[in-house]
Structures are given as C-alpha cells and as structure tokens.
C-alpha cells in the first residue's frame, strides 16, 4: 500500500474558554491522495476551519496525528516544521483581509519564493509574473496593490501566492464564498485546471453543494466536531442520511440537471445551492469569525 499524501487520525482540537476547554474537533480522521480532493461541509461552527488551521499548523492540535507523506506534523516543533510548511498551503476565505495592503501583487507572490530560498530578485520577479499569468491576471496586475483589485482578482492573487511555494496540498477554506457567483465559477475552474496541471491535491471547505460537486469527488460531512458522513460525493449526495446533508441537498438542484450543462447553468445551480433561505433551517449563525 502506498502512503497517502495526507492522513489525519483521531484529530482533537480544544480551545481554552472561561478557564475550561471547548472541544471544537473531536476525533476526526480522513485521507487525501496525491492529486486527490476532499470537500468538507457542515453547519457553521462544526469545526471546519479549525481542521484547516491545524493542517497548516496555524494551531497545534490537542491530540491525534496529521501525517504528511508519513511524517506526523501535528506536534512537530517549528524548526522541523519549517521545511514542510511549503508543501501545504492555504487559501483563505476573505480575499480582502488575507493580503497585505502595502504589497504589490508581484511582491505578494514573490515573498514566499524568498522565504523558500530563491535568492535572486530577478528570478523571483520572473516566477511571480509566471504565476500571475497562470491564475489568469494580466501583467499590468503585477504592480498594483490589493485595494486596486476586485474581490475575484484578489482571490486569484491569493491562489498565486499559495502556489508560489509549489505545494502538494492546497487547503481552501471557503475560498470562493465571498465572491460574486460568476467569478466563483471562474475561480473554481481555475482550481480544477491547476489540479490537473500540477497534480495538486485539494481540501475544499464549503457550505455550497454546487461548489462541492464541481470540485471534489469525495466529501466529508461534519457536525459538532465529528464526522457524520463521508464517501464519494455522488453517493453521499444521492442518499444522504444526515439531516444537514439532506437540507443542503434540498437547497441544490437535482444532480441530474447539473450534468453536461454549460457554465451558465452551473452558475445558476451554484446560486441556488447558496440560497440562505434554503439552508437556514439547520445552519445557525456563525459562532465566531474564522
Ligand atoms: N480561538 C477560538 N477560541 C475558542 N473557541 C473557538 C475559537 N475558534 C473557534 N472556536 C469555536 O470552535 C468551533 C469551531 O469553529 P470553526 O471556526 O472551526 O467552525 P467552522 O466549521 O469553520 O464554522 P464556519 O462555517 O462558520 O466558518 C466553534 O464553536 C467556534 O466558536
Ligand atoms: Mg470556518
């Protein structure tokens, strides 16, 4: 048996609250193969972003293992973690808050290259220009700052920055949910193309079944810090047992109407799946901003 790119085992994350502890993630496990994908869905506050932050070690899990290519990064000290950090990158939910407003697009994308040890400034500029082109932005974007871009363009810069360190796994935490629907579809297509081109693996966190269907063949449904359902996306969505999945599914169009349609039809399906009216029955307000 080959080692999966990522194997998460019995992950537990507790946050300190009022002198006690709150268990936000409670014994979660899953694997992602090289070039594979996994969508994580679940109601607000169920622990999705906490998992994402653990995977890139923005936080240190309380228990469990996060095996990246067989190496447990869950408890690795920073010194030993550093060479592994470039391999797992995150694209954040908020394309407004996650970019440094003082850096140009070129500087934003070149920075991880510098940290990765590309010492030549000319080489960094060349690679940044290549990445900006790859995410579908014109070269005129290179010298502009985040404030001069639209949300979708900013999101593309975030993706270019994440790709700069040539990661093997990209963790997208609601990476498209703040975007206009047509831009959302474009960014999703971009991610899918990059997956094919680079053998990149993805974890996509989303509330939106249209997004999940578009981007991932496997899905994991969470509730209250635990996995309540997982498997092939089509299978889970075809016969969901979990009320949250049922509610999400009711909110989306029938899957048979999605197949073989032109992008416009897909876009309207994504709009329909993200209709807040349709999911509000089971999804409470966000507990904390993530
Ligand atoms: N720093 C923190 N301190 C204490 N509790 C936290 C902290 N961060 C998150 N939580 C709690 O942990 C739980 C999981 O939060 P998390 O951000 O992982 O949820 P989520 O599934 O990403 O939700 P959303 O869909 O709203 O983004 C929530 O109940 C949240 O209130
Ligand atoms: Mg979140």
Distance from residue 276's CA to the centre of ligand 2 (Å): 16
Higher pLDDT, 3 or 267: 3
Token pair 């506050």: residue: 45
Q: Hey, whose CA ends up nearest to atom 3 of ligand 1? A: 15
Query: Which of 15, 28, 205 is the best mutation target for the ligand 1 pocket, counting ligand atoms within 8 Å of the beta carbon and taking the most?
Result: 15
28 and 61 Cβ atoms separated by less than 8 Å: no
Higher pLDDT, 184 or 154: 154
| Secondary structure in 3-state letters for the chain | CCCCCEEEEEEEEEEEECCEEEEEEEEEEEEECCCCEEEEEECCCCCHHHHHHHHCCCCCCCEEEEEECCEECCCCCHHHHHHHHCCEEEECCCCCCCCCCCCCHHHHHHHHHHHCCCCCHHHHHHHHHHHHHHCCCCHHHHHCCHHHCCHHHHHHHHHHHHHHCCCCEEEEECCCCCCCHHHHHHHHHHHHHHHHHHCCEEEEECCCHHHHHHHCCEEEEEECCEEEEEEEHHHHHHCCCCHHHHHHHHHCCCHHHCCCCCHHHHHHHHHHHCCHHHHCCCCCCCCCCC
Q: Which atom of ligand 1 is nearest to the CA of 17?
A: 4
Is the CB of residue 21 below 6 angstroms from any atom belonging to ligand 1? no
Q: Find the range with the poorest average confidence among 10-14, 90-94, 139-143, 198-202.
A: 90-94
Distance from residue 219's CA to the centre of ligand 1 (Å): 20
Is the CB of residue 225 below 6 angstroms from any atom belonging to ligand 1? no
Calculate mean pLDDT across residues 121-144.
93
Whether the pLDDT of residue 156 is over 90: the answer is no
According to DSSP, the β-strands at 6-17 and 63-68 are antiparallel
Higher pLDDT, 80 or 136: 80
| Residue-averaged pLDDT of the chain | 81
Tell me what pLDDT residue 252 has: 59
Tell me what pLDDT residue 289 has: 43
Calculate mean pLDDT across residues 14-37.
95
Calculate mean pLDDT across residues 175-192.
70
Is the CB of residue 288 below 6 angstroms from any atom belonging to ligand 1? yes
Higher pLDDT, 184 or 270: 184
Question: Which ligand is located closest to the Cα atom of residue 207?
Answer: 1
Tell me what pLDDT residue 73 has: 96
Over residues 58-72, the pLDDT tens digits come to 999 999 999 999 999
Over residues 82-99, the pLDDT tens digits come to 889 889 998 876 656 778
Distance CA 84, CA 215 (A): 25
Q: pLDDT-derived band of residue 285, with 50, 70 and 90 as boundaries?
A: very low
Tell me what pLDDT residue 145 has: 94
Phi, psi of 11 (to 5 degrees): -70, 130
Over residues 32-55, the pLDDT tens digits come to 999 999 999 988 899 999 999 999
Domain annotation for the chain: domains and CATH numbers:
1-87+167-245 (3.40.50.300), 97-166 (no CATH)
């Amino acid at each position: 048996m080959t080692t999966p790119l990522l194997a998460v085992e019995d992950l537990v994350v507790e946050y300190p609250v009022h002198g006690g502890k709150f268990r936000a993630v409670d014994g979660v496990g899953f694997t992602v193969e090289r070039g594979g994908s996994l969508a994580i869905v679940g109601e607000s506050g169920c622990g999705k972003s906490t998992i994402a932050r653990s995977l890139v070690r923005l936080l240190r899990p309380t228990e469990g293992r996060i095996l990246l290519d067989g190496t447990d990064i869950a408890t690795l000290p920073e010194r030993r973690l550093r060479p592994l950090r470039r391999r797992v990158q995150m694209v954040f939910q908020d394309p407004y808050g996650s970019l440094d407003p003082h850096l140009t697009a070129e500087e934003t994308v070149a920075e991880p290259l510098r940290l990765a040890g590309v010492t030549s400034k000319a080489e960094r500029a060349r690679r940044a220009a290549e990445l900006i082109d790859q995410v579908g932005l014109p070269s005129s974007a290179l010298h502009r700052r985040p404030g001069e871009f639209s949300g979708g363009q900013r999101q593309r810069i975030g993706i270019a920055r994440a790709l700069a360190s040539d990661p093997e796994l990209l963790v997208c935490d609601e990476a498209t949910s703040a975007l206009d629907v047509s831009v959302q579809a474009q960014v999703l297509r971009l991610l899918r193309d990059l997956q094919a081109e680079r053998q990149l693996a993805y974890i996509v966190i989303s509330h939106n079944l249209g997004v999940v269907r578009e981007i991932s063949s496997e899905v994991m449904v969470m509730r209250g810090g635990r996995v309540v359902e997982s498997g092939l996306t089509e299978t889970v969505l075809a016969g969901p047992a979990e009320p949250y999945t049922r509610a999400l599914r009711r909110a989306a169009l029938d899957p048979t109407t999605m197949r073989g349609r032109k992008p416009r039809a897909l876009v309207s399906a994504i709009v329909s799946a993200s209709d807040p009216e349709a999911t509000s029955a089971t999804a409470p307000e966000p507990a904390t901003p993530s």
